[in-house]
Structure 1
Amino acid sequence: MSKDIRIKKGLDIKLVGEAEKTTTNVSMSSVYAIKPDDFHGIIPKILAKEGTEVKAGQALFYSKSDERILFPSPVSGKVVEIVRGARRKVLSIKIEAEGKQTYVDFGKKDAANMTGEEVKNHLFTAGCWPFVKQRPYDVVANPNQAPKSIFISAYASAPLAADLDYTLAGKEAELQAAITAVSKLTEGKVHVSVGKGANSALANLSGVEIHKVSGPHPSGNVGTQIANIDPINKGEVVWVVTPQDLVIIGELFLTGNFNAERTIALTGSQFKTPQYVTAIAGATVADIVKGNLNNDNTRIISGNVLSGTETKEDGFIGYYDNQITAIPEGDDYEFFGWNKPVFNKISTSRALTFSWLNPKKKYDLDTNTNGEHRAFVVTGSYEDVFPLDIYPMQLLKAFMYKDLDEMEALGGYEVAPEDFALTEFICVSKQPHQKIIREGLDLMREELG
């Protein structure tokens, strides 16, 4: 029986620039890039050297910790550059795309007639394993540790997030093939969360347990859903797959090809026409936003405004991202901004702020932090936007002073950086909550396994 989830704690940040439900096919980029940093915790070992001709789906590198975990090229073409940073760290692998794409043929498969081990090996071979991530630690899943359940969130509640009901429409066959496959990877249930009253392509699939979600952000975060449906205890693991990655897995089983094309939402007030476009993972941002971006003092974000990554026009969209956001750069100083009523910003406080009077108003916010970094100020406001049964302030402090026993006891296994995006947004101390959580999780993974 499904369990509906209704979240009361949280905050919806309503911004101008929601994508219109029209989709444009953008021309292929001349160059694509895969960035190892998109796969947190992975140390890459290069397979394709500069000058190597590759097909779409052919492995570019593998994980040093497990050579079965391959990372494929999203397009066919030639590896033109391997960009390295300090200590020869691999920053990106650039592929010059061919005009006509050719794919590695991995063969059509019927997951219903395969064992869990056969499904796993097929995902390894085709480079689709990186789409399977795990909690705790929010990293590419360890294939040697069986999950107690698998979670898929088909409800996006982040600011200006892509409408998954729209982007997944017509993909039922691919989604069902993928669900049939990933369900073989666990003895537990496959939990799918959809919006209450939504018309989701995943709502009528077989082999899943459907949960209807409602409430403010972060109700769409998979961490919130895990905490309400099947919480993680020490020694337990759950796996997570996003719907847009399920489509790629499903197409692999149906066609035998690794097709990394996805529908991307162009959102934010700095786009002339916020809309959806189809592009391949790793595409150049300039080619995706061509002719549609206001370049006047603009911050471009691969992902959403809360947990996305800053990029430039000559940069590349993140491997897991299905959204590009463009908002004004907040590099101006507001004279006496702390000492006058505020009408054009969102605040959870009612001290000289009035956003609570008009909860449906949409705002054109910039990146200004409206304050300076300072020591933690205990206000009790984090708990108002944090729906997990965890003390956020105490956990953040434990992560800062690296007390592993406290990190465990306070719920470190249950959280991911995105779960603290809202507390970071409202933090009067301007502390980098997501960075603190990420570094703490890395320490736990290194020390506790």
Structure 2
Amino acid sequence: MSKDIRIRKGLDIKLVGEAEKITADATRSNVYAIKPEDFHGIVPKVIAKQGTEVKAGDPLFHSKSNENMLFPSPVSGEIIEIVRGAKRKILAFKILGDKEQKYTEFGVKDVNSMSGDDVKTHLLASGCWPFIKQRPYDIIANPDKAPKAIFISGYTTAPLAADSDYILQGKEKELQTAVTALSKLTEGEVHISVGKKGSSPLKGLNNVTTHTISGPHPAGNVSVQIAKVDPINKGEVVWTVHPQDLVIIGELLLTGRFNAERVIALAGSSVKTPKYYKTIIGTEVSSVIYNSGVHDEGNIRVISGDVLTGENVKPDGYLGYYHNSITVIPEGEDYEFFGWNKPVFNKISPSRALTFSWLFPNKKYDLNTNTNGEHRAFVVTGSYENVFPFDIYPLQLLKACVVNDLDAMEQLGMYEVAPEDFALTEFICVSKQPHQNIIREGLDLMLKEIG
């Protein structure tokens, strides 16, 4: 099998405000927050109560269904609040961080002498297991079911997302340690995909199978790479890990400490000086964005993550557990007179009907959050297939999810996809349907009914 992957279907969304490749230290946040809703499908059981002093790496809560699956504090300090919502649902653990960080010592490990069970036990005890996710269902991996393979995507294609090649520079030792450990958790292979162009630190690692990939977004989505290399069938499980999470796992094994440090991209047309910042998981968003300043502060959308799949947060919100970027773009509250019936020069469209973005493939656009239309019933246009690089009928799968047709969902390839894979179809949807929410609800139903 060729180790070169070329994706032809998709759409690159080039936006103004790409982060300059300069890294600065973010202002130290006073309060950090870990939100259980970032771990989809996990029902938290409190370990550290309000007022408890914790070290970085100490568990805050565990999964109700698996007491061994721990979720750690990213910093040392005092738990000042456990935020609860309706029916006392836990929304967030807030930690007042210490000026001088203290770490729980998990012990330095020689990964080459560890067995698969040793690695699994260590990752669970240290709180690093939540970094490992699984397909199908796009949830935290079940440690009791071995995967047929592990996939890591080092190719970034989402608009304004952090460049993996840049943020991983100088971390080769941690990356090698982490992939060596992960290789002991599967009888299959550890697959790493890197861009055909560029010099990724992921290239040349041992104990892995490396693939070069090219093509438009969503070529960087790990689901696309799985579908091209080792597709998922019913009953099979594949694990995935983000490259920057590999660094945390590798550092844990090398130093014995859970270091929740992140290098994130602050990007977007509303940011005055977009660049990279070194910070910590769960940090206050304001500690990052106001270092660079923003245009028109009263009319911005702050997104933890990228513009297609990220979470809308307030400036006083917190960085998501799995997010490697913060994007700030203008809020779209305006309406265009006869916007549906005039030539469009300043927007991106896969269609050529009165639109001209196809004439300028390298032009960068300053887009806002306006949906340019209202929610309506699905309109069959055939456009989804042009940006959807799976051998799957996207419209039929979405409709099967809407009507909860489990048999059709299985037959149409639901096991292979995650909500992020439908971000582009949602972006171009003339019906303004929430594709990612529809897929997420469909996956939840399948997990509940089929398991």
Using the size of structure 2 for normalisation, the TM-score is 0.99
> Residue 383 of structure 1 aligns with which residue?
385
- Consecutive unaligned residues of structure 2, counting only runs of 5 or more, are none
> Which digits, 9 at most, give the CA deviation of each residue in 1:340-382, with x for residues without a partner?
1110000111111111111110000001000110000001000
Aligned partner letter, 2:426: E
Aligned-residue RMSD, C-alpha: 0.7
Alignment of 1:36-435 (within 5 A): 36-291=36-291, 292-294=293-295, 295-435=297-437
Q: What is the Cα deviation at residue 296 of structure 1?
A: 3.4
1:293 & 1:169 partners in 2: Cα distance? 28
Alignment deviations for residues 407-435 of structure 1 (CA, whole Å, 9 cap, x no partner): 11100111100000000000000000000
CA deviation profile, 1:281-330 (whole Å, cap 9, x unmatched) = 00000011124223130001000000111001110000010100001101
Which consecutive unaligned segments of at least 5 residues does structure 1 have? none
Asked if the contact 1:2–1:210 (Cα under 8 Å) also holds between the matched residues in 2, the reply is no
In structure 1, what is the Cα distance between the partners aligned to 2:197 and 2:276?
A: 23
1:226 deviates by 0.3
SS at match of 1:296: helix
Is 1:445 the counterpart of 2:447 in the alignment?
yes
CA distance in 2, matches of 1:296, 1:264: 24
Q: CA separation in 2, counterparts of 1:220 and 1:4?
A: 14
Other structure's SS at 1:32 match: strand
**What does the per-residue CA deviation read over 1:22-81, in whole Å, with 9 as the maximum and x for residues that have no partner?**
000113200000000000000000001000000000000000010110000000000000
Deviation at 1:198, TM superposition (A): 1.8
Post-superposition offset of 1:160: 1.0
Q: Counterpart of 1:233 in structure 2: which amino acid?
A: N
| Residues matched between the structures, number | 449
Opposite residue 241 of structure 1, the aligned amino acid is V
Q: Give, in whole Å, the separation in 1 of the partners of 2:172 and 2:258.
A: 18
Instruction: Give the Cα–Cα distance (whole angstroms) in 2 for the partners of residues 287 and 428 of structure 1.
Output: 37
1:198 and 1:228 map into 2 onto residues whose CA distance is: 21
Identity of aligned residues (%): 69
2: distance between equivalents of 1:312 and 1:27?
17
- Distance in 1, matches of 2:165 and 2:247, equals 13
Secondary structure of 1:440's partner? helix
Q: 1:2–1:209: 8 Å Cα contact kept in structure 2?
A: no
